[in-house]
Structure 1
């Protein structure tokens, strides 16, 4: 028996009786499980670091946002002598409870999902897909949200700030270190170590004018949002950073890291330093990091990079000299503060039609699509239609590099959205963080729904992942849809072998959670789909 494969019309069932519907739904649930586990394991590590910091077992970490700590404590039912509100919109919670889709815990849903895909357990594709939605909701409202909120408590809630992006942020006269991966527990310590006077002196003695830290992927997004550390690129740029010839070290933790990096680095002087027992890479230098030793290990890594500066070949250094300015740091708290302490002004702009709605563009790069084309084109088409765009992950980096996160990008927006952006001094595309920070988009939508007195699915909003590849993106899309936010995908998921699964995800789900998936590879057509969806939601609200 196995591996399970779809053989075509002549063979409608496997030897065990499995149909194409069952095989496809099992595979999809397996992908959601992988993505939910990746996000939730990230959240667990940050939460464990917070616990160790509270116990005094990780003294290099502290509490950077006490207000956020109290707010999160209330969310989890810890008595802080004050009233508390649930994060999700009440109507959405009631709907999920009625449908039996409320997640019971993070790990339980993942374990149960993996049990269901075992041969001889789950056999009804509808039941399997339902577990996928519930498991994804446990990621979005659980694991990922813990990752976001615990990181805010430890390292500070992002505030609006200026920075720069693209390969031009590398500096020919300094030691360049890129921080790549997803977990800020390591990267924050590297930032701290690089700022030590002894490290600066060491760099100068090596012939450099200083130490230049740059971000890649979501570790970079975390640092960009909180500290304004410049971002060198997104997923498909990770090898390009090495090929500039100016990178002394690439420090990685986990997720979205090419196994090819040490091979690419071997053509240059760059050292790839791996740090997680989950993510060892052959050819890399391994320095295991945990909360107790993170700062000491970070100092060793920075020293390795500085000492490697002498091995650089100046004649091979090619750095593009046009970094792009970007305004970043739009956490929900930062938005609320910018609007006078409440999101009501944003809701009013939507109700008045000055902003027609909002779309979250999220997710990865995919070699099947010209890098960043889907993200940038979709964002431009949406803002032209007076739809404000919020972004995370590689999508956010793409649009920042395209100049869409500068206030001047208001000129590319429709008349009413452009006027709003100019009056507030903000860009029409807002950077909301890393991939786990899609929870900020959930929180934003939930708060707007509560202010409006509606469920999240009734809001004029949508989601999109034009260039997704990662199982994490499958989980993200599923928890958006499960929360009532319809999502347009630019790459077809691995479901084409089952018309029934396609029907359930693109139509039937709408009858349950009031949201569904579309698949549209052309970002201009995707923009039209999302615009029509938003206008329909506005009409349903009488707007």
Structure 2
């Protein structure tokens, strides 16, 4: 473990890096221990200004070609590529990579589903038969009087087209509001199959193929939609069918979830299969006894990042923190094993884990890390992996070295607001619907809705932009739907309790108090952004708020994004009709034709549009202005008189 060389590195107050007290405490300890984290690397490594503006092209060996953001049309690449072509290609490849990540995840879930249905895998079963039937019905599969296995097999065959189909429309296009789908068809961007769209987009961005920024962007939209309404949506729906559809549960969040006198196992990644299996392993009586024989009081399972968010929502498993806290939590010296699978896993975790003699265990065949221990996770025999993880964690607990320092910070929040539960929450078992939500938007108690999603990024103060943005939104009566690492940021800030309604505007506060809900609804992991799409479609279906998603008083934001997945998510929201603002940075040069297309032109074609600002207050201002613009277009800009209805009038209404 290398000690920090004082005087050679810039000293920074950790409070400038994060608003998370637990992470700040661990960063101070890391500094004392001479341990480097991503926060340190971000300070010592400046972002490439040419790359940040997407003004470079390295798609062939004639380059890399570097253009100037100050004079973007002053020169072209060696092949003649203009700044707009270069930017569109770079943007498209981020969409392709992000869509591929979600698509591969979704296809893995679908493969597991097939094997469970066919009886080849018995460690998992279908837990939510109602969800199975509703998903099947949503894409036209007959369910009345049929066996569950037959419905499930038909659903598998139909959803497989999401990935492998080479022509036609993906199955979940049936869920898209008619007017929105009409806009897609007119533009020629209804996805056929995810594999074809990603392959075609990568081909188009090869040197010498598609060289018109508008045409490249068209395929970017088609590919992104194959993610949001395809790969991601399949992953969420199949996970619900197999593991249960989330409903509200009270969960502890933050590093205080670790227990010094227990074997602490962290699971970090994105696929629920491994987490579900390790949940069984930590409850295995023989392993619990082994932990006690080693001197522990028990085994403590804690989640991080997005698979943690899924388990938090489904099973109430405690959650230790989001992406930028994954190294910091190892510094506690209380983590006896960190088990990871795919996506958002920092390679730097290996070195930090090594400093504290913590096993870092990779489990997925797609994602090995040099220096980490690899224990292959196989769906047909999952416990072979997860039992071994627990055994290694017990061994590490027994041989812990050095002091343990756990931040005594826990935050309680309510998580698990799936589309299905929101439907039930608003209307009950027999009258479940989005009508109360639409009615309260129409009457002005709720101004509109906002999806706030995404990662955390060391280029900005951890969690701060998320928290300040959401506070501004709810203060202005905007209901917030939250997913991914942003959900954890808000939970740590105490915004996931019904009591947080006191921070909301008078209208939203009144609705929250009447329903008993927080002003911020946690919907799951980043792949669960598809729940927001389903909710938006349902709002259109209920009526009164326009005929397409683009008509809704709705906006989206990824305030601290960092991954290519975020670009794909942003583009599928924009293509679906949502004004979407990103923070931190954006890979584009302002004033170019490509910039004008993304930030203005797409909206003029009937889609949503992109926005950018790093400032949370400006972000909130832009989102609220957009929501107000949509309200005005719907004729909802004038407040309606609120009438108190007495019991006699209610009887008359019921009789009518």
Would you call these one fold, judging by a TM-score over 0.5? yes
1:30 aligns with 2:118: no
- The size of the alignment, in residue pairs, is 542
* 1:511 equivalenced with 2:598 (yes/no): no
The residue matched to 1:256 in structure 2 has which SS?
coil
Instruction: Tell me by how many angstroms 1:303 deviates.
Output: 1.3
Residues 66-465 of structure 1: pairs in structure 2 closer than 5 A: 66-81=129-144, 86-313=174-401, 316-339=403-426, 340=428, 341-452=432-543, 454-465=547-558
Alignment match, 2:31: none
Unaligned ranges ≥5, structure 2 = 1-60, 146-170, 637-656
SS of the equivalent of 1:180 reads strand
* 1:2 and 2:62 correspond: yes
Once residues 498 and 213 of structure 1 are traced to their aligned partners in structure 2, the CA distance between those partners, rounded to angstroms, is 50
Root-mean-square deviation over aligned CA pairs: 1.6
| Residue 4 (structure 1) shift | 4.0
**1:21 touches 1:498 (CA, 8 Å); kept in 2?**
no
Q: Which runs of 5+ in 1 are unaligned?
A: none
Q: 2: distance between equivalents of 1:264 and 1:484?
A: 43
Report which of the two structures shows the higher radius of gyration computed on alpha carbons. 2
Tell me the secondary structure at the aligned position of residue 200 of structure 2: helix
Q: Deviations over 1:378-404 (max 9, x none)?
A: 000000001010100010000000000
Q: Residue deviations 1:96-138, cap 9 Å, x none?
A: 1111111111111000000001111111111001111110000
Distance 1:455 1:280, change over 3 A: same
Measure the CA separation in 2 of the matches of 1:212 and 1:423: 36
Question: In terms of mean alpha carbon deviation, does 415-424 or 45-54 score higher?
Answer: 415-424
Q: Report the TM-score, using the length of structure 2 for normalisation.
A: 0.81
Distance 1:498 1:33, change over 3 A: farther
Distance 1:14 1:381 in 2: 44
Which of 607, 614, 633 is equivalent to 1:521? 614
Q: CA deviation at 1:14?
A: 2.1
Q: 3-state SS of the aligned residue for 1:538?
A: helix
* Aligned residues of 2:415 and 2:522 also touching (Cα < 8 A): yes
Cα distance in 2, alignment partners of residues 3 and 226 from structure 1: 49
Question: How far, CA to CA, are the matches of 2:607 and 2:102 in structure 1?
Answer: 25
Aligned 8 A contact 2:110 2:238 in 1: yes
Residue 268 (structure 1) shift: 0.5
After TM superposition, give the deviation of residue 322 of structure 1 in Å.
2.1
Look up the SS of the partner of 1:232 in the other structure: coil
SS at match of 2:480: strand
Deviation of 1:289 after TM superposition, in Å, equals 1.1
Query: Would the aligned equivalents of 1:269 and 1:311 in 2 still touch at CA under 8 Å?
Result: no
Deviations 1:489-538 (A, max 9, x none): 11332112771111110000111133101101100011011111111111
Query: Displacement, 1:181?
Result: 0.4
Paired with 1:3 and 1:472, the residues of 2 have a C-alpha distance of: 26
CA distance in 2 between partners of 1:435 and 1:3 (Å): 35
Q: What is the aligned partner in structure 2 of residue 495 from structure 1?
A: 588
SS in 2 for 1:142: helix
CA contact (8 A) 2:255 2:410 kept: yes
- Which 10-residue stretch deviates more, 88-97 or 41-50? 88-97
CA drift at 1:269: 2.4
Q: Decide which of 567, 576, 593 is 1:483's aligned counterpart.
A: 576
| Distance in 2 separating the partners of 1:261 and 1:205 | 29
Of 37, 48, 51, which residue of structure 1 is paired with 2:114?
51
Contact 2:536-2:549 at 8 Å conserved across structures: yes
2-structure distance, mates of 1:307, 1:170: 17
- Residue 526 of structure 2 aligns to a residue whose secondary structure is coil
